[in-house]
Amino acid sequence: MTTAQAQDLLDQLAVIDAGSELAQARETRDAATRHAQGSYETIFSADDGVDFTLAERLLLAENVARWHGDSQLASHYAERLNALPDQGNTARLESALDHGERLSFKPASATAAHLQALQQAGWSLDAIVTLSQLIAFVSFQTRQLRSYRLIGGHSVENASDRKIAAGYWRHDGKTHSGRSAPKVFTQAELGWEPWIPSKKLEEFDAEQQAILARFGHTDSDYFRLLGRNLPVLEQRTLTDKGIFYTSGGLPRKEREIAATVASKINGCIYCASVHSRKASQLSKQTEDVQHLIDTAPGGILSEGQSPRWQAQIDFAAALSATPPTASSAHIARLREEGLSTLEIVDLAQSTAFFAWANRLMLTLGEPFDD
C-alpha cells in the first residue's frame, strides 16, 4: 500500500484490500481518488477564512452521515469532533441541521426562503455555500463507501433488492425571480439562477480568476457562487473530471446515464437535462434516454430498457436513495451483464458524484427555460 493510499479515508473505512481489483481500479482512477480525499481535507480543514468552525463542520457531518445510514463514517466524524480541545458554540447549528436534513432526504423541496432563514440565523453567504458543499460532499462519501464495501464483499446497512422509484420534483412554473421554470424533465438546454448572489468576477483576485478560467467557470453564475469557497470548488471540479473524463472502463455514455438516474431520484431537472442530453448524443439512443427521463414520480426508472441498462439503472437508483439501499444482488447483476470491477467503480462514482451535484443545484438556486 502506498503512502497516499494509507492516508485515504475511503480506503480505510471501506477496508479495501491492498492488491485487490478494487484497489487497482481506484489506482487507475487516481485523479478521482486523490481529489475525493482532497475535497475531504479541504472541507474539514476550516482554515479557508469562512466563518464556519471545524467543530460545527464535524458535528454537521456526523449527522449527515447518520441520516445516510453510514454509522462508520458518522463515528469517524464524531471521533474527530470529540478530539477537539474546544468544541465551540454550536447555538446556530439548529438551522444548519435543518438544512442538512432537508438536503439529505428531500433536496427538491428546498426554496429560496430556506437560504434566507440561514442568513437570519447568522450564516454568511460564504458560509452557506460551504455548509451546502459539506452536506452534499458527505452524501457523496456515503455512496462511495457503500459501493466499495459491496464490491469488496463486505456487509452493508439497509441493503435491499427493492427497486427505487423516481422522485418528486418542483413544477411551480415560475422561478423565485419570476422567470418561466420547467415543469417536466427535458433534454433541452436550460438556464440556472442562484438564490443568493454569485460573486462578481472582479471580486476574485488574479490568481483566483485564473483558477476559474482554467476550468471554464468564469461566466457561470453557478460556479462563481460556489467560488465563495474556491479551494473546495477546485477540489470538487478535479474530482468531477477524474470521474467523468477518464479513458477506459465504463463507456462515457453510461456514466452519463448514471448521472441522469441520480438526478431523477433527487428531482434535479437541470442536471438531468445536461446529462441526459450527453447520454443521447453519445449513445445515439435518444428514445431510450427520453423514456428514462419521462418516468413519473413513483415509476421504476429501468422499465423498458435493455438488460445491461436495467442492471445499471437499478443499481444507480438504489445507490441514490437516502439512505442508500444498493445490495450485493445489484453487484451480482452488474457482473452478470459483463461489467468489470473498474466499470462498476466508474458507475458507482458517477452516481455518487450526483448525490453531491444535485444537492447543490437544487438548494442554491433553480432552473429556468426562457
So where are the chain's domains?
Answer: 37-150, 163-199+247-366
CB 208 within 8 A of CB 227: yes
Give domain 37-150's CATH architecture: Up-down Bundle (1.20)
CB 347 within 8 A of CB 176: no
Q: Where are the alpha helices (DSSP H) in 152-268?
A: 206-214, 221-226, 230-244, 252-266
Cβ contacts of 287 within 8 Å, gap of 6 or more: none
User: Phi and psi at residue 300, in whole multiples of 5°?
Assistant: -90, 120
Task: Specify the pLDDT at position 88.
Answer: 58
pLDDT in tens, the chain (370 residues): 333 334 899 999 999 999 999 999 999 999 999 999 999 999 998 788 899 999 999 999 999 999 999 999 999 999 999 999 876 556 689 999 999 999 999 999 999 999 999 999 999 999 999 999 999 999 999 999 999 999 999 999 999 999 999 999 988 889 999 999 999 999 999 999 999 999 999 999 999 999 999 999 999 999 999 999 999 999 999 999 999 999 999 999 999 999 999 999 999 999 999 999 999 999 999 999 999 999 999 999 999 999 999 999 999 999 999 999 999 999 999 999 999 999 999 999 999 999 999 999 999 999 999 7
Whose grid coordinates read 482512477? 29
Integer Cα distance of 258 and 147 in angstroms: 14
Q: Where are the alpha helices (DSSP H) in 15-124?
A: 21-28, 30-43, 54-67, 71-82, 93-105, 112-120
Instruction: Using the Cα atoms of residue 313, residue 319, residue 325 and residue 327 in order, give the sign of their dihedral.
Output: positive
Task: Specify the pLDDT at position 91.
Answer: 66
Integer Cα distance of 18 and 152 in angstroms: 11
Q: Taking the model in full, what pTM does it have?
A: 0.96
Integer Cα distance of 137 and 182 in angstroms: 27
Print burial letters for 335-354: b (CB count within 10 Å at least 16), e (below 16). Answer: eeeebebbbbbbbbbbbbbb
Which DSSP state fits 60?
A: H
Give per-residue pLDDT as tens, 146-158: 999 999 999 999 9
Q: Do domains 37-150 and 163-199+247-366 have the same CATH topology?
A: yes
Integer Cα distance of 329 and 105 in angstroms: 24
CB 340 within 8 A of CB 254: no
How far, rounded to the nearest angstrom, does the alpha carbon of residue 33 sit from its chain's CA centroid? 15
**Which CATH number is 163-199+247-366's, of 3.40.50.2000, 1.10.3720.10, 1.20.1290.10, 1.10.3090.10?**
1.20.1290.10
- Compute the residue count for the chain: 370
Nearest to 183 by CA among 169, 191, 192, 171: 171
User: Phi and psi at residue 306, in whole multiples of 5°?
Assistant: -65, 160
